[in-house]
Structure 1
Amino acid sequence: MNSGDSSWVLRSPNGGLTASIRLTPEGRLKYKIRRNNTVILEESDMGLTADGVDLGGKLLVEAVHQRTVLETYETRGGHTNAVNHGQEAILMLRHGSSEWKYGLHARAYDDGFAFRYELHVEGSILIQEEASSWSLPPGSLVWLFERNNAWKLKSYAGEWIRVDADELITISSQGPVQGTPLVVELPDQGGYAAIVEAALYGYSGMRLEAVGNRSVKVHFTEAERGFTVKGPFTTPWRVTIVSSDLNGLVNSDLITSLNPPPSEKLFQDTSYIRPGRSVWRWWSLGTGTPEQEREMIEFADRLGFEYTTIDEGWEAWENPWEELQKLTAYAGSKDIGVFVWKRSGEINDPQDDWRAMREFFDKARYAGAAGLKIDFIDNESKAAIDFQIAALEKAAERRLMINFHGISKPTGESRTYPNEISREGIRGLELNKMKEGPIPAWHNAALPFTRFLAGHGDYTPLGFSNRGETTYAHQLATMVVFTSPLQVVAENPAYLLEEESVRAGLDVLKAIPSVWEETRVLEPSVIGELAVFARRRGGIWFLGILNGKPEEVVLERLSLSFLEDKTRYEVTEITDRRERPGLERTVREVVPPSALTTIRLEPNGGYVAMFTSVAEGHIMKDRS
């Protein structure tokens, strides 16, 4: 880190990204980000207001500490291993002549920049505002999710749209506050940036308020009321992910790297945390009787899926806990786990160490549930965040997985609490059942480069029977492109197994895993228009393509650079039938570096291919 009298430059490990931190003559903190001499962010504010004191001004720097961060860890979703490598500086700050002292932690990574505040004060602290902001360069285009009702910032289930950065303050009928991530297409071939937060614990979730001049600043659910934390306290990280291309953006591990590793005590045994696919009756038929949910277990077995999810309504059964115990025992005999639904408001009481939550979790564990689907949290206030972390901790103590619904975005907490197997916070396929639906194809083609940058998302993919304007192959491709370690399949499994129009894709569907060892975003991917993903599990590669355009797209000579050269592969291709709606299947051999010639995508269509080396054979032993 190079320093002057009142400025410091923090360089990433490869030197390509630099973050300049400056203390103005008025004692205000500001920062700026460049990559290879291109401005990523113009000078932007830092600081926060606590207990009525503006800790963004009248500052003095008392000391600067530096260190290198370097660790490797296992991750889950798009790939299996991550490297946390950054250069960190800690500025020890004092506010004027007062006793307020805090540290600014800043880290420069090859793929981004992050900072947070460490408050060195004992006792209760009222957080009222953050000055933390991002000022985008002229010509920036911003992707955000929009929903024209009060649910926009409750469930984060908006459609992804692109606007000019100058429009941020006026674009939404719901006001100038947006959820994260915001994804930026930078001008002049500057690549991409994403504004996110990481390590959200004991604090209110970060939204972003447009304040004009292409700038956004941190905004909280509690607004001017503020919220109380107990000091000493460290805030979440304010993060800017930076990449020259979509592949780097999608494969960034910055958010999880900024989260602490899991507690060795709480997660001494993680054998119960098992990714997989789940059948789910609610989307197509509604929650069933115990007998009907038993049939879902049989369908899961026939599909080779690892789970079934029993949704809202099961607690109204006669003797629900006894029936649940029978179902989990039957499912267990087939090595299938059971997730059960619970409304958050019925267990959201911190009294007596969350007694209502503990009692419900105890019953669920005794009944044999593998995990819980906790729904209708519907905000990201500090109280809501505290509830989520309590649920993850109490569940971990009982070896239960959690799938959150009706919730805001992830912030990498699945590294610290790996029993969070997925969460919603996404405009998913359930909207096809509602008046606001159906989901447009361009939204699906935007999701891999927008919402999924924040982490896993339970979109509940695959709805052949209620697919809106999309095609059958488009629906199948979402299973490859969308990332969720618990992939809850929306479609009625009887339709998957018995419907003639989709039978051609059944074997490939059964083989698609829910977690991957490697992900590559291929050209010609474009946010909101075309998502082309190659993903590997073991020796088998899958290619998933989503066409977000209402017109035919023809890809000529798509590169197979992800495959081993001079190796013979059998490729099974699943495409849309042209003569009538449905799927068709073709099988052929390819030998890289040859390319796939002429992939024809229907309007709003899709494509899926499975590549198996001839030497590997055709059996995928690890289905998950």
Structure 2
Amino acid sequence: MRNNTFLILLISLVFCQANILAQKQFTLKSPDSKIEVNISIGKTIEYSVFHQGDLMLDRSAASMTLGDGFNYGVNAELEKSSTRTINQTIDALIYKKNKIEDRYNELSLKFRGDYSVIFRAYNDGIAYRFVSTSKKPFVVVNEQADFNFPGDTKAFIPYVRDNQSKRAKTGYQNTTFEMQFYNSFENIYEHSLLSEWIKGRLAFSPLVIEGINGKKVCLAEADLMNYPGMYLYNETGGNTLSGVFAPYPDEIKQGGHNMLQGEVYSVEPYIAKFEGATEFPWRAVIISSEDYELANNDMVYKLASPARGDYSWVKPGKVAWDWWNSWNLYGVDFKTGVNNETYKYYIDFASKSGIEYVILDEGWAVNLQADLMQVVPEINLKELIDYAGKKNVGLILWAGYWALNRDMEGICKHYSEMGIKGFKVDFMDRDDQLMVDFHRKGAQIAAKYKMLMDYHGTYKPTGLQRTYPNVINFEGVFGLEQMKWDADTDQVTYDVTMPFIRQVAGPVDYTQGAMRNATKSNYRSVYSEAMSQGTRCRQLAQYIIFESPLNMLCDNPSNYMREKECTEYIASVPTIWDNTISLNGEIGKYISIARKKGDVWYVGSMTNWDARSLELDLSFLGEGRFKGEVFKDGVNAGKAARDYRKEVIDIPVDRKLPVLMAPGGGYVIKIYPVFN
């Protein structure tokens, strides 16, 4: 009888121990204890997120399926767990502030099967990533990255655009769904319920979802180095968004725009492959109590891998740009176009205005050859480089993806030795693993030859700009170039939506600076003499509100020289900053941001098509006397969008500054201390 009792007790103990091993619960809190993530390890790994007691993300599953049938995160056998607390300051080199507070609590979970899952809780959100310690090659068939929201709430959804998915005449032919992986990553936002998600449509991250009590959740990813980018999809029409990833390309052929793109003709039955141990991208859930907090979030930068080596040679700045204005100079005695006389004029303008760079956009290399060593006969590149050097202006070359990828090492070496400062790389239009690796490899090789990389025609940034600070800009934005041909999109509303969402990921190659400005009723698309929607002061404000270390002046020198006040202002605005403060804002309605360089503050505001009266709180200035150089919408800016007024004011002692903006308007003030 005693033996039976002992046996029953032993079986019970083993059963209880098995339950303990099968189901583990962990709680991780942010340093300020406002955010709590609860992690459950059972049949799957699930987590939920609370902010000050409000449920922001319900139980959401995370796992990865490997090619051998093993699953990270499914029936996971926990071997050990550990925690740590980090409180440090990041010195940022090319960024919107020079120091970043990096505080988080971390939970590391090590599982049988050579993998771990790491969770971090910050004061502004949570993040997790898988880490493989495999010593042998493996493939990832798929990743489960679910984000389960507690109710049918509204979201700002950046769908892959219909017209972009139809561009692929070859490749991804199986379904329209797969064709969406071939796109230019230029999107607008639809504000709708999760249940109204358009069936069959993918969206990009970052993506913002409305939560309880006016709070927002922003889904993003970071440290994407050798893995496909994450799209988001609502397959069921419910409250769950799931990560979707482009398959690994099998056969790629040259094609697309001027034979400069790589078109995928067939794919492998997996999304990524590795030779061994690797760290997968971070999945970030950013939480804000107020919309304007998103406009100054550092999560993606904080999660990215730090730079290694010396990048003090990286020189940010402004760029005089030729393509948007179609080389349309006037009042000159030569025929304008892609030729040395035109570019010398641009160089003269840049030199006189204190603009650091001139870009030679598409047209300088022989068309349809995808060969960057073939320069058109109208261009004497060596002569232009020498001429620009004497004027203290650097030259940047536009490069199609296929042309650069043919021999990145040789091309970078050749043009670096000639004196070219960097490349604007275009028409990647994919973010599968091979294309993501192209971006990393391009950054690495360019850095070797001390060259800048401006990734145009590409996906959103995910922190590569921290790892390789010579990667100085990214497009992945519905920028001003669209106004050359798009007669229907509401760009003004987009301008006060994007900074809260896309710009969470990092800098934008938006290419502002239009001197032809139009009201809502007067705007039209004109390809060769393009204009902007909204007022002149809106264009000026974008140099403050939009983060862009390499910032274009999209209009032509002839127009800028007729607008001396505005041009001098644009040229004076820094492109990297010592500090950034988000002052106010509401997604899709208005925004105000303050940025500091040295002892000077620049403040910019923009509104949607509603005229708006704001009061800016300038208490961040502290004690002392300050003056402000103001550009504000003129009294007739609602009828003639170019109307503006410049004035110098004393900053009020109470630091409350009233601002009035016209429909589609903007406001800027440059604030400097007065010492007498």
TM-score (norm: length of structure 1): 0.89
CA 475–428 in structure 1, closer or farther in 2 if over 3 Å, else same: same
State the Cα distance separating 1:139 from its structure 2 match: 4.9
Q: Which amino acid letter does the alignment assign opposite residue 243 of structure 2?
A: V
Query: Quick one: distance in 2 between partners of 1:93 and 1:318?
Result: 56
Query: Quick one: distance in 2 between partners of 1:29 and 1:242?
Result: 21
Secondary structure of the residue that 2:232 maps to in structure 1? Answer: strand
Identify the residue that residue 631 of structure 2 maps to in structure 1: 573
Q: Is this contact kept in 2: 1:194–1:241, CA < 8 A?
A: yes
Secondary structure of the residue that 2:235 maps to in structure 1? Answer: strand
Q: Is this contact kept in 1: 2:105–2:122, CA < 8 A?
A: yes
CA 571–472 in structure 1, closer or farther in 2 if over 3 Å, else same: closer
Query: Quick one: distance in 2 between partners of 1:426 and 1:20?
Result: 34
Query: Quick one: distance in 1 between partners of 2:634 and 2:531?
Result: 13
Identify the residue that residue 84 of structure 1 maps to in structure 2: 102
State the Cα distance separating 1:103 from its structure 2 match: 0.6
Secondary structure of the residue that 1:562 maps to in structure 2? Answer: helix
Q: Is this contact kept in 1: 2:305–2:463, CA < 8 A?
A: no
Identify the residue that residue 229 of structure 2 maps to in structure 1: 205
Query: Quick one: distance in 2 between partners of 1:468 and 1:306?
Result: 24
Identify the residue that residue 620 of structure 1 maps to in structure 2: none
Query: Quick one: distance in 1 between partners of 2:596 and 2:377?
Result: 41
Identify the residue that residue 197 of structure 2 maps to in structure 1: 168
Query: Quick one: distance in 2 between partners of 1:595 and 1:427?
Result: 34
Identify the residue that residue 342 of structure 1 maps to in structure 2: 399
What are structure 1's unaligned runs of at least 5 residues? Answer: 95-99, 350-355, 617-624
The higher radius of gyration belongs to 2
1:398 aligns with 2:449: yes
**Counterpart selection for 1:68 from 85, 88, 103:** 85
Identify the residue that residue 522 of structure 1 maps to in structure 2: 583
Query: Quick one: distance in 2 between partners of 1:276 and 1:320?
Result: 30
Q: Is this contact kept in 2: 1:130–1:217, CA < 8 A?
A: no
CA 239–379 in structure 1, closer or farther in 2 if over 3 Å, else same: same
Q: Which amino acid letter does the alignment assign opposite residue 221 of structure 1?
A: A
Q: Is this contact kept in 2: 1:7–1:22, CA < 8 A?
A: yes
Query: Quick one: distance in 2 between partners of 1:68 and 1:596?
Result: 41
Query: Quick one: distance in 2 between partners of 1:246 and 1:585?
Result: 30
Q: Which amino acid letter does the alignment assign opposite residue 21 of structure 1?
A: I
CA 568–357 in structure 1, closer or farther in 2 if over 3 Å, else same: closer
Please identify, of 255-264 and 160-169, the stretch whose mean Cα deviation from structure 2 is larger.
Answer: 160-169
State the Cα distance separating 1:283 from its structure 2 match: 0.7
1:554 aligns with 2:613: yes
Query: Quick one: distance in 2 between partners of 1:65 and 1:444?
Result: 44
Q: Which amino acid letter does the alignment assign opposite residue 613 of structure 1?
A: P
Q: Is this contact kept in 2: 1:139–1:186, CA < 8 A?
A: no
1:148 aligns with 2:162: yes
Count the aligned residue pairs.
585
Identify the residue that residue 311 of structure 1 maps to in structure 2: 361
CA 527–216 in structure 1, closer or farther in 2 if over 3 Å, else same: same
CA 497–137 in structure 1, closer or farther in 2 if over 3 Å, else same: farther
Secondary structure of the residue that 1:389 maps to in structure 2? Answer: helix
Superimposed CA distance per residue, residues 223-253 of structure 1 (whole angstroms, 9 cap, x where no aligned partner):
8543312222221111111122234322222
Query: Quick one: distance in 2 between partners of 1:107 and 1:570?
Result: 42
Q: Which amino acid letter does the alignment assign opposite residue 328 of structure 1?
A: I
Q: Which amino acid letter does the alignment assign opposite residue 162 of structure 1?
A: H
State the Cα distance separating 1:321 from its structure 2 match: 11
TM-score (norm: length of structure 2): 0.82
Identify the residue that residue 524 of structure 2 maps to in structure 1: none
Q: Is this contact kept in 1: 2:205–2:219, CA < 8 A?
A: yes
Identify the residue that residue 621 of structure 1 maps to in structure 2: none
Secondary structure of the residue that 2:410 maps to in structure 1? Answer: helix
Please identify, of 238-247 and 125-134, the stretch whose mean Cα deviation from structure 2 is larger.
Answer: 238-247
Identify the residue that residue 221 of structure 1 maps to in structure 2: 246
Q: Which amino acid letter does the alignment assign opposite residue 326 of structure 2?
A: L
Identify the residue that residue 34 of structure 1 maps to in structure 2: 50
Secondary structure of the residue that 1:558 maps to in structure 2? Answer: strand
State the Cα distance separating 1:53 from its structure 2 match: 2.8
Q: Which amino acid letter does the alignment assign opposite residue 122 of structure 1?
A: K
Query: Quick one: distance in 1 between partners of 2:540 and 2:400?
Result: 30
Query: Quick one: distance in 2 between partners of 1:594 and 1:116?
Result: 44
What are structure 2's unaligned runs of at least 5 residues? Answer: 1-19, 166-179, 249-268, 328-336, 367-373, 517-529
Query: Quick one: distance in 2 between partners of 1:435 and 1:39?
Result: 41
Superimposed CA distance per residue, residues 333-354 of structure 1 (whole angstroms, 9 cap, x where no aligned partner):
22221111111112325xxxxx
State the Cα distance separating 1:504 from its structure 2 match: 4.2
Identify the residue that residue 553 of structure 2 maps to in structure 1: 489
Q: Which amino acid letter does the alignment assign opposite residue 248 of structure 1?
A: E
State the Cα distance separating 1:403 from its structure 2 match: 0.2
Query: Quick one: distance in 2 between partners of 1:438 and 1:241?
Result: 28
State the Cα distance separating 1:503 from its structure 2 match: 4.2
State the Cα distance separating 1:439 from its structure 2 match: 5.3
**Counterpart selection for 1:185 from 210, 213, 219:** 210
Superimposed CA distance per residue, residues 403-440 of structure 1 (whole angstroms, 9 cap, x where no aligned partner):
01110010011111011010111110110112466552
State the Cα distance separating 1:506 from its structure 2 match: 3.4
Secondary structure of the residue that 1:149 maps to in structure 2? Answer: helix
State the Cα distance separating 1:167 from its structure 2 match: 2.1
Q: Which amino acid letter does the alignment assign opposite residue 466 of structure 2?
A: R
CA 488–469 in structure 1, closer or farther in 2 if over 3 Å, else same: closer
1:298 aligns with 2:359: no
Identify the residue that residue 445 of structure 1 maps to in structure 2: 496
**Counterpart selection for 2:478 from 415, 418, 427:** 427
1:120 aligns with 2:133: yes
CA 570–28 in structure 1, closer or farther in 2 if over 3 Å, else same: closer
Q: Which amino acid letter does the alignment assign opposite residue 218 of structure 1?
A: G
CA 581–63 in structure 1, closer or farther in 2 if over 3 Å, else same: closer
Pairs within 5 Å for 1:586-605: 586-597=647-658, 599-605=659-665
State the Cα distance separating 1:564 from its structure 2 match: 2.5
Identify the residue that residue 29 of structure 2 maps to in structure 1: 11
